[in-house]
Each structure stands twice: as structure tokens, then as C-alpha cells.
Amino acid sequence: MQAEIDVRVREILEDGDDRGASTFAIRTLGPQVLRYLGAILRDDEDKKDAFSRWAENLWRGLPGFRWQSSLRTWAFRLAYRAALDLRDQAWRRRETRLESGEASNIAESVRSATAGRVERQRSILRELLQNLTMEEQALVELRVDQCLPWEEIAEVLARDGDAPDPGTIAKRFERVKARLAEMLRSEGIAE
């Protein structure tokens, strides 16, 4: 499926339709990215803001994307960066919203269609994940919800172009998973 998305976006770009390629990418990858952002940000307004930033960044950046990774990996990296930027600039919130661009309108339609279903499915896990750092939540979401391989997760979580070793990421995930299992046991949900 992922390879098919990459092939289709490349075809659309090769046909000279940057808007079409960006629209297709946002509509196709948007629900996954929205779930991911909701899980790591835990606030509907922050999720909405980060998703709009993600869509705008993908819209602007896709024509220059160099295909050094899969489109999905790049999309999650953009989403992670949007979440980090939002977290780092939380004090700059505006009282009035800017007018949405075309990419933001597409992002809003994807968000609206996906939000209700996702929220119902994840309420218990979300409560437990709140005890993790944003980076730990990103790791869990990328591995469990998005099924990314360790190499791609390392690329998404890279800071300043320095990707951590995939083996280190896997070990970190195992520690986080053990903590989550302990939390489930302490809540009486698992034995």
C-alpha cells in the first residue's frame, strides 16, 4: 500500500500537478498523521494546529521532496516537527485564527471525518500515555499505530539530521512498553 502511494504521488508530480500530488498525499496520509498527532499532543486544539502546519508544510515541500525516504516517513517527520514546534512555541498562541489555505481546508476535512472514531477507540490508552514524554509517545505511536520499521522511526525522531541507531530506538521502545504494561497492571486492566 505504501509503495503504491509513493508511486502515485511521483506520477502526479511527474505530470506537473503539484497541487494534485499534495492533495492526494494529504488525503491519503492525513488520517494516520492525525491519529499520531492526537496521541502525542493530547489536546484537540494543539492537534488541529499541528495538523494544519503539517498539511501546509507537506503542500509546500512535496514538489522539492528528494525521495531519500518513503513519503510516509517524511510525512511523519513533518508531523513530529510540527508537534515539536507547536510545543516549543505554545506561548505564541493567537486569539484569532488566520484564514485557512487550500491545504488547511483539506486537512480540516480529513480531521473532521477521522476525529470521532479515533477518539472513542483510544480513550483508555490515551490516559495512560499521558504519563509518557512526548518523545516516548511519538515512539509508541510510530511503532504500534503506524507500524513503521525501526529505521524509519529513527529518521522521524532524528534531531538536526542525526538519526539515532535503530537498535537504540528498539530498546527504548521495549522500556516504554514495559512501563505501559506495568501501568495497565496497576490499573487492574492487565495481569
| Residue 126, pLDDT above cutoff 80 | no
- Kindly state the average pLDDT of the residues 146-165: 89
Q: How much is the mean pLDDT over the chain?
A: 84
Please tell me the predicted confidence (pLDDT) of residue 115.
60
| Residue 91, pLDDT above cutoff 70 | no
Query: What confidence tens digit (pLDDT) does each residue in 19-64 have?
Result: 999 999 999 999 999 999 988 988 888 999 999 999 999 999 999 9
Please tell me the predicted confidence (pLDDT) of residue 160.
78
What's the per-residue H, E or C state across the chain?
Answer: CHHHHHHHHHHHHHCCCHHHHHHHHHHHHHHHHHHHHHHHHCCHHHHHHHHHHHHHHHHHHHHHCCCCCCHHHHHHHHHHHHHHHHHHCHHHCCCCCCCCCHHHHHHHHHHHHHHHHHHHHHHHHHHHHCCCCHHHHHHHHHHHHCCCCHHHHHHHCCECCECCCHHHHHHHHHHHHHHHHHHHHHCCCCC
| Residue 161, pLDDT above cutoff 90 | no
